[in-house]
Structure 1
């Protein structure tokens, strides 16, 4: 019903996302707000970049861009349900990142066997 909110960012299977992050073959971004992290924890290996800081921290043209996002590795995003991460994925693609995937929500990470840090 709300699939249009996920943008054009391709989905990645949870188990594949967990395996790629564990093998350090991809960068995992948690784009939820700080209060969401406090309530539920975050995926092991995830870098937290809330939407308020997204453009500044993820755009390679920004002096504040995270070094982890400058190495050309695939980027996997998640939020609470997959809607915001789908939109953020479209933004990353427009910023010039070549391989961007939407995992969906934190529950998808857990469904793929990923661990949660609290």
Structure 2
């Protein structure tokens, strides 16, 4: 049986981090998907990365799977996916899941606070 700490350690080992400064340079590119996996109330309160797709952690698999009735066309295995949450845990787990689903270029931005601290732009949620 795995603990959440073990699951996070595995995810962190498999999904490379991307710095906020590096990620800022990718904003607006059509081959990049910024993925906000926080809950809707979190996004509504603090906003999100401009253009980010907001999908709560519990729905990512359904939205990312082209065979799902809930699939979102913004998910494309050819794109770089940059996932983030509040502190980096959920986005690490999402990144690992997306890799298991065939998404090969996945990065973990970590927490939204790091984005804000680096002077990242914010769009209302």
TM-score normalised by length of structure 2: 0.82
Alignment of 1:1-118 (within 5 A): 5=8, 7=11, 8-70=14-76, 72-118=78-124
Deviations 1:41-96 (A, max 9, x none): 11111100101211110123324322121261100000000000000000000000
Deviations 1:18-45 (A, max 9, x none): 2112333410000000111122111111
TM-score normalised by length of structure 1: 0.87
Paired residues of 1:44 and 1:114 also in contact (CA < 8 A): no
Structure 2 stretches of 5 or more lacking a match?
A: none
Q: Which has the higher contact order (CA 8 A, sep 6+)?
A: 1
RMSD: 2.0
For 1:93, what is the secondary structure of its paired residue?
A: helix
Structure 1 stretches of 5 or more lacking a match?
A: none
Matches of 2:35 and 2:6, distance apart in 1: 21
Matches of 1:20 and 1:3, distance apart in 2: 31
Q: Which of the two has higher C-alpha Rg?
A: 2
